[in-house]
Amino acid sequence: MSATGTRDMAIANSVVDLITLRDQSRKELTECINKMKGPKALVLDPSLSGPLGLIAEKQLLKEHGVEKTYHLRSEPFETDQRRVMFLVRDKIWNMKAIAKQVKFNQSNRQKLEYCVIVVPRRTIVCERVLEEEGIYNDVQLGEFDLGLIPCEDDVISMEYPDALRECLCDGDFSSLFYAARCIRKLESRFGIIPTIKGKGASAKKVADIIVRMRRELPEESCGEGEEQEIDELILVDRESDLVTPMLTQLTYEGLIDDIYGISNGIVELPSELISSAPQVGDKKARVKVQFNSSDQLFALLRDANFEQVGSIVKKRATFLKAVQDEKDSLQGKSVTEIKEYVRKLKEINIQQEKNLLSLHTSIALEIKSLVTSCLFSRRLEMEQGILQGRIGPDRAVEYIQHLLCRREPFLKTLRFLCLSSLIFNGIKRLENLKTEFIQVYGFEVMQTLEKLEKVNLIKKAESTSSIAAAAANISAATAGISVAQLTNKLTQSTGWEGMKKKLKLVVETEDDSFNDDIAYCYSGYAPISSRIAETALFPPAGGWGAADETFSLVPGPLFEHVQQSSPSAATVTTPPKTAARAANTRHVALIFFVGGATCAEVSTIRHLARQQTRGSAGNMSRHYIVGTTKLISGDSLLGTFHDLLPTPARPGSAQTSRHHSSILRV
């Protein structure tokens, strides 16, 4: 099946029409490409290559004059095309790389036409850089809003990787404007979202911008009169939960992401795991495989805790064997029974399903060998131990030093350092650890550590004496409570320990309710972000505003907006509790993660949807769509702080993009 076909299957069953949303992006992309008439070379920002692959295939680009596709690199390249179109993000280094390419061609006396399309919009900074480089008048400028890209039938993403770093580290909040604009585009297609609520400073900024945008637009441009297909928007701020991305994901899809990396639904797997791939004898050889819900077995496996993967694979194998055995026993069956079997075969491509079963069995066995290794088991034990409070800061530091001694991958070690700092509210021996990081990984990591300190992902712990001094001041005005008792109470009621108890973040796996709780996806830990979403979807008796006390220890304000049918009537005050419309038979909520969401967090929302649908009364059906600025892992999130510049091209490497290279489909 073609790439377009599998993508259509993956999003065809969405509760809202995501295919038309995708097609609108395709239309806008081709309109941008058509601004330059005739055959042309398309030079892509490497970070846009994957997202564009989700909305446009090679054939579509070719139909609109794209003869060759390249990646923009730090070094210029030669092309035989007279027209060159650059499609890049609005970054300074991209403008400088474009200028270098144009000047290179001019120095070779090549008279070419240039068009620069900036994603998501052209900015004054971009224009200024082109002016300073002296090529502003040599290029045609345009912009393309990539918008929200349908990744699955319940997942849409901006695929904007730097949102968190830009907000926290750079003081650049443009990503929040882009997020608000994307949601407004959704509203223009699917109707106004009546209720917006959420938690976190950046999330509140997005909500405020959405409301302001509606007020500033004329009535006829606001999409009023259209059927409201989405009932509520819940904005979850990544800054409100920095702990979760630092943990190892324990769902099937999450582990694949942590071990191999998933980028825009594509995984590069070792070739020996894939029986249909040509074996080249190189253990480092990789094959690209596309994963989405069009693969029925992957759809069953992706959200499962890894401990249950084996039983799911076994059930699928038994089912396929039963279908095959039924074929062998057709002789003597009635015409009706044969027709029923043929109908079943049309729904199930036996050979394809066998290939998929073989693939996922190989992946599961490979992951199992890693998960059961001493190194992985110890890391998981350390993570679970500090979450539960069984392991203290001293043992955590010892483990970090163990990782440093083993020269484990930088981002893996950094993740555990950040996790420890967040849980223990700082690290006492942080300066010593920073020195050891520099000794092991090189001087260049110093900037990364400084940036993480700036945003409080790592910090030095307050001394016990300063906490005791604060307790002494309170004790002086409080009769009957000793300084020691008050010091202990202050430590327990604030920070992680306080949050853990208030939000029930740690759930015992022996409890009968464990499999029904979102903590199932992390083997006993419920993400703060998912608890926010869960409470927003089913608020306490006093409404969402009454949850403020529950989330008082979570950073950022709690907010709620009501959008009236008229934009001028949109209010930012908390509305009174309203009764559900009796005629409604379904409720659709968009849970949008500002700053990124992990695969395992998406699984918690799906898990929540399944449990709540199962327990819902009457005819009401509940559907949740996850939106995000980017699908992330802990490594990719920290990577935005570590590697701010594109990777330079290797000497002698091919510059031609492999964006549309063939992908193995089994």
Label residue 64 left, alpha or beta by phi (over 0 means left) and psi (-120 to 50 means alpha): alpha
The CATH superfamily of 3-146 is Sec1/Munc18 (SM) protein, domain 1 (3.40.50.2060)
Size of the chain in residues: 666
pLDDT per residue over 475-520, tens digit each?
555 555 654 554 455 455 568 999 999 999 999 877 656 678 899 9
Give the helix/strand (H/E) hosting 290.
strand 286-290
Instruction: From 625, 590, 632, 630, select the one nearest 210 (Cα to Cα).
Output: 590
pLDDT at 133: 97
Residue 261 half-sphere exposure toward CB, CA atoms < 13 A: 10
Q: How far apart are CA 251 and CA 563, in angstroms?
A: 37
Q: How many other β-carbons are positioned within 10 Å of the β-carbon of residue 157? A: 26
Give the helix/strand (H/E) hosting 53.
helix 46-53
* CA angle 519–524–529, rounded 5-degree value: 40
DSSP class per residue in 155-188: EEE---TTHHHIIIII---HHHHHHHHHHHHHHH
Q: How far apart are CA 326 and CA 341, in angstroms?
A: 8
Q: How far apart are CA 152 and CA 161, in angstroms?
A: 18
The CA-atom distances, in angstroms, between 142 and each of 80, 124, 164, 238, 538 are: 23, 13, 26, 31, 44
Task: Output the six-digit token pair for 208.
Answer: 């405020």
Tell me whether the omega of the peptide bond preceding residue 567 falls within 30 degrees of 0, making it cis.
Answer: no
Task: Output the six-digit token pair for 452.
Answer: 């993480």
303-332: string of b/e by CB count within 10 Å (b at 16+)? bbbbeebeebbeebbeebeeeeeeeeeeee
Domain 252-371 belongs to what topology? Syntaxin Binding Protein 1; Chain A, domain 2 (3.90.830)
Whether the predicted model's global pTM rises above the 0.95 cut: no
Domain 374-454 belongs to what topology? 1.25.40
* CA angle 99–103–108, rounded 5-degree value: 155
pLDDT at 586: 85
pLDDT at 660: 38
Exposed, middle or buried by CB within 10 Å (0-12, 13-18, 19+), for 550? middle
How do the domains of the chain map onto residue ranges? 3-146, 151-241+526-642, 252-371, 374-454, 464-491
pLDDT less than 50: residues of the chain:
224-225, 467, 470-471, 483, 486-487, 490, 572-583, 644-666
593-619: string of b/e by CB count within 10 Å (b at 16+)? bbbbbbbbbbbbbbbbbebbeeeeeee
Helix, strand or coil, per DSSP, at residue 605: helix
The CA-atom distances, in angstroms, between 545 and each of 153, 561, 616 are: 31, 11, 23
Helix, strand or coil, per DSSP, at residue 218: coil
Task: Output the six-digit token pair for 429.
Answer: 């021996």
Task: Output the six-digit token pair for 522.
Answer: 């992390």
Task: Output the six-digit token pair for 455.
Answer: 């945003």
Q: How far apart are CA 475 and CA 13, in angstroms?
A: 61
Question: How does strand 266-270 pair with strand 286-290?
Answer: antiparallel
Label residue 591 left, alpha or beta by phi (over 0 means left) and psi (-120 to 50 means alpha): beta
Place of tokens 């990577």: 639
Place of tokens 């059927």: 227
What letter would DSSP give residue 331?
A: T
Q: Which amino acid is at 593?
A: F
Exposed, middle or buried by CB within 10 Å (0-12, 13-18, 19+), for 661? exposed
Answer whether 523's CB lies under 8 Å from 384's CB. Answer: yes
Q: Do 3-146 and 374-454 come out as alike in CATH topology?
A: no
DSSP class per residue in 85-142: EEEEES-HHHHHHHHHHHHHHHHTT---EEEEEEES---HHHHHHHHHTT-GGGEEEE
pLDDT at 508: 83
7: phi then psi, degrees, rounded to nearest 5: -65, -40
Q: How far apart are CA 5 and CA 153, in angstroms?
A: 14
Residue 388 half-sphere exposure toward CB, CA atoms < 13 A: 16
pLDDT at 19: 94
> Helices (H) and strands (E) in the chain — how many of each?
26, 17
Place of tokens 């510049």: 645
Q: How far apart are CA 560 and CA 572, in angstroms?
A: 7
Q: How far apart are CA 103 and CA 115, in angstroms?
A: 14
Q: How far, rounded to the nearest angstrom, does the alpha carbon of residue 218 sit from its chain's CA centroid?
A: 34
Task: Report whether CATH 3.50.4.10 matches the domain 151-241+526-642.
Answer: no
Torsion of CA 519, 523, 525, 526, to 10 degrees: -20
Helix, strand or coil, per DSSP, at residue 15: coil
CA dihedral sign, ordered 58, 63, 64, 66 = positive
